[in-house]
Amino acid sequence: MQRIDRAVESLRDAYQKKDPSAFRAMMAPSDHLESLQHQVKADFETFHAISLEFKVERVIIEGDNVDVYVRWQGVWKKHADDTGMRQRGHTRLQWAGTQSVLLRDIQGDLPFGMKTKQALSELPPPKPAPR
């Protein structure tokens, strides 16, 4: 259980410190997670400061697979004087391994990829179709 706690904290810490190599080191090889890493890289380039809190709500262990349900909240700032973008949500971190615990999938409302989420929220509403 301590390895799981350390893995979750290491993932959060790597993201908050904007450390791409430490973030990547927490992940098992996967196309889905490769896409996530690109979004995280964009976050690191866009935001001056990231403050992220995790609260583990539930852990389910089945063999080598571990599902960690997390409630998160955070603030993403583009510059030092920025009040920041506040977000929160729930996500499921799916880990695998016993000696070395690696993230194999992530589902739900992710705390990662905020640049993409922000860009989508700033899109103008679609224009009505002509009649």
CB 108 within 8 A of CB 94: no
| pTM score, whole prediction | 0.86
- Tell me which H or E stretch contains 38: helix 31-46
CB 71 within 8 A of CB 55: yes
10-residue stretch averages of pLDDT, the chain, 131 residues long: 91 97 95 92 96 97 94 96 94 90 95 83 64 69
Fold of 1-114: Nuclear Transport Factor 2; Chain: A, (3.10.450)
Per residue in 55-90, pLDDT tens? 999 999 998 899 999 999 999 999 989 999 999 999
**Cα–Cα distance between 6 and 30 in angstroms, integer?**
21
Least Cα distance to 44 among 127, 116, 121 occurs for 116
